Structures are given as structure tokens and as C-alpha cells.
């Protein structure tokens, strides 16, 4: 069940946020390495065109099979449309997000960012209470296009509907 209605809209500037993540390094290709978490601030996106898509959880069926893979498959199409940064966000910890990124082969193409306790997403009205399933508070399934920190596209999937408005094809069409 969603926590509420989105409170971020096209034309709004995104609020400041900080996301722990494990940046890709070639050492991570050895799956016994864990990497060291860093923090990415939304300030790093100033002056850039950014695509963000959020998933309820790394390795969960819809996220793992239907949501993330088309973004990596269409990476060159996003770059051709002037996208500087693509980031996937979930409430999982940075080590889980890094593991998922490695399994999916993201390398340094797509950032796998942790929105701990879905705090940043909750501030946008884009969190999801999955406590009834034992998952706690998660990010809703949504996508945003930012241009110099200003929202140009924001769509959230109705719960249980799969991937449509937040999928790679919908976002590419909106660019």
C-alpha cells in the first residue's frame, strides 16, 4: 500500500538527498570483493540530465527480471538522448545494491543507489509500506527525468501493476 500521493511534480526542483552506494571498480569483478560505500549527493546532478528509476527491492522478481534489464539493454539509447546519469534506487543497503549491480552487469553505466528506509522517496510521497509482507518501508516503483535538478517527468506505478510508466521504453519516449 502506498504511503500517500506523490508530492513532487513536473517543474519542481528535487529536494537534496544523499545516497550510499558502492562505486564500481574493476576489483568488484572478483565477486569476493565488497567495495567501500561512498555517498552520492543530489548536488552532483546539478547541470546534468538524469534518469532515476526506483524499485521496491533488488533481486525481487519484477525488479530483477522486468524493470532493471531494459535500462541496461537500452543504455546507448539513453546516452544518445543526452542523458548524463542513470540511477536505480531502492531501500536495500549499499552492499545488496552493489551485488545486484554486479549480477546485472551494470559496471559504471547505471548507479545502484541506496535510499535507506526509503527516506528520500518518502519525502516525495513515493514510498511504499510493505510491512505486511515483511519488507518494511520501500521505495515505490517510479521513474523521474531531471534536468539540472528540475523534474521533467515523474510517474509512479500503481501497486501490483508491473512496469509501465516507470519502464525504460516509457522514459525514453518522454526524453
Question: Which entry of 63, 144, 151, 154 is annotated as an active-site residue?
Answer: 63
Instruction: State the pLDDT at residue 103.
Output: 87
Q: What is the pLDDT of residues 7-30, one digit of tens each?
A: 899 999 999 999 999 999 999 988
| pLDDT at residue 57 is higher than 90 | no
Instruction: State the pLDDT at residue 7.
Output: 86
| CA atoms of 74 and 138, how far apart (whole Å) | 26
The pLDDT-based confidence of 135 (bands split at 50, 70, 90) is: low
Domains of the chain: 18-174 (3.40.30.10)
63 in active site: yes
| CA atoms of 147 and 103, how far apart (whole Å) | 29
Q: Which of 174, 155, 173 is nearest to 163 (CA)?
A: 155
The pLDDT-based confidence of 134 (bands split at 50, 70, 90) is: low
21-25, 97-101, 169-173, range with the lowest pLDDT: 97-101
Q: Is 118 left (phi over 0), alpha (psi -120 to 50) or beta?
A: left
Report residue 98 as a C-alpha cell.
552493489
Locus of grid cell 544523499: 18
Query: DSSP assignment, residue 33?
Result: -
Instruction: State the pLDDT at residue 77.
Output: 98
pTM of the entire predicted model: 0.90
Amino acid at each position: 500500500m502506498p504511503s500517500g500521493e506523490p508530492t513532487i511534480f513536473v517543474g519542481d526542483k528535487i529536494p537534496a538527498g544523499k545516497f550510499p552506494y558502492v562505486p564500481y571498480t574493476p576489483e568488484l569483478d572478483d565477486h569476493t570483493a565488497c567495495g567501500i560505500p561512498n555517498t552520492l549527493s543530489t548536488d552532483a546532478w546539478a547541470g546534468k540530465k538524469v534518469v532515476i528509476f526506483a524499485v521496491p527491492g533488488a533481486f525481487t522478481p519484477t525488479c530483477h527480471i522486468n524493470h532493471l534489464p531494459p535500462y541496461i539493454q537500452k543504455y546507448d539509447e539513453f546516452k544518445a538522448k543526452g542523458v548524463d546519469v542513470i540511477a536505480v534506487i531502492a531501500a536495500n543497503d549499499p552492499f545488496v545494491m552493489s551485488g545486484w549491480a554486479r549480477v546485472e552487469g551494470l559496471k559504471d553505466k547505471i548507479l545502484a543507489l541506496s535510499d535507506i528506509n526509503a527516506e528520500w522517496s518518502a519525502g516525495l510521497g513515493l514510498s511504499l509500506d510493505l510491512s505486511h509482507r515483511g519488507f518494511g518501508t520501500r521505495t515505490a516503483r517510479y521513474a523521474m527525468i531531471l534536468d539540472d535538478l528540475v523534474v521533467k517527468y515523474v510517474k509512479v506505478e500503481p501497486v501490483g501493476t508491473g512496469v509501465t510508466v516507470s519502464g525504460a521504453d516509457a522514459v525514453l519516449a518522454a526524453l
